Structure 1
Amino acid sequence: MPTPLDETKLERAILALLADRRELYPSQIIGALRRHDAGLPLHHARAVLERLIAERRVARLWHRYLLPRDVEEVRATWLAMIDRQAARLDADLATTGAADEARALLTGWDGWQLGR
């Protein structure tokens, strides 16, 4: 069981990492944290991330984590990608309007929930 100090160090390390890199998968976070400080209680990273999300200090888009300040930029990036790939998305998913549904979902994303 990590001490509150250990969790605080882990929290600070996660926030610092996200401040430097805008959008990260959990495995990227763990790998970077392991390289930064092998003594961090990385087995508690998920719990710390979930707490940071509940406190709205970290946002999430699918399986990527980011800081709330980056929500608008990440949304714009993903919407542009959907626009570029709209025809392929509709064809690959065999669903007319799949790209429109994805756009609507992202447009309603607030950093913590999709489609609100």
Structure 2
Amino acid sequence: MTVSVAPHTQQQRMRDALTELAILGVLAERTEIYPSHLVGELRRRAPSVPAEAIRPALERLWRDRRVARLWHRYLLPDRVPAVRAKWLAMIDRRRADLEALDTHEDGYAEGRAVLLAWDGWRVGNGEA
């Protein structure tokens, strides 16, 4: 009886695919999530996913536009409008506080402009 062993690259691709599916599964249930919280969630849900594989998988998913990103939070692309609306509402609620900051003259308007320019992957000419 012979045992079939998958080549290293095939094993790596399978591990990457399982990691990506686990990440997408968490994102399907969460509106947005920080990578550190994602690691904790995956430890609980998918303990076989190595923690060191999560960051590269997130970056691949982001590069392939399968996940979006805003200020270190990751989300599914179809949630970009809802997340934008949430953050715009938060900025609007805190308008007086933001305008009163001495450190930045027009923080309110600039914050709104950044969110309105965000598409999930870019903010104007820069990466999200």
Map of 2:109 onto structure 1: 100
How many angstroms does 1:92 deviate by? 3.2
Map of 2:64 onto structure 1: 55
Give the partner amino acid of 1:7: D
How many angstroms does 1:91 deviate by? 2.2
Task: Name the SS for the 2:69 alignment partner.
Answer: strand
Task: Name the SS for the 2:94 alignment partner.
Answer: helix
How many angstroms does 1:72 deviate by? 0.2
Task: Name the SS for the 1:94 alignment partner.
Answer: coil
Give the partner amino acid of 1:60: R
Q: Aligned partners of 2:101 and 2:39: how far apart in 1? A: 32
Q: 1:90 to 1:49 in 2, by over 3 A?
A: same
Higher-Rg member (1/2): 2
Q: Aligned partners of 2:34 and 2:44: how far apart in 1? A: 16
Deviating above 4 A after TM superposition, structure 1's stretches of 4 or more consecutive aligned residues are none
Matching residue within 31, 35, 38 for 1:29: 38
How many angstroms does 1:69 deviate by? 0.5
Deviation readout 1:42-72 (Å, 9 max, x if unpaired): 2011111001001000000001000000000
Map of 1:89 onto structure 2: 98
Q: Aligned partners of 2:49 and 2:25: how far apart in 1? A: 14
Task: Name the SS for the 1:22 alignment partner.
Answer: coil
Task: Name the SS for the 2:93 alignment partner.
Answer: helix
Q: Give the number of equivalent residue pairs.
A: 116
Map of 1:73 onto structure 2: 82
Identity of aligned residues (%): 49
Question: What's the TM-score, normalizing by structure 1?
Answer: 0.93
Q: Which runs of 5+ in 1 are unaligned?
A: none
Q: Is the 8 A contact 1:109 1:115 kept in 2?
A: yes
Task: Name the SS for the 1:107 alignment partner.
Answer: helix
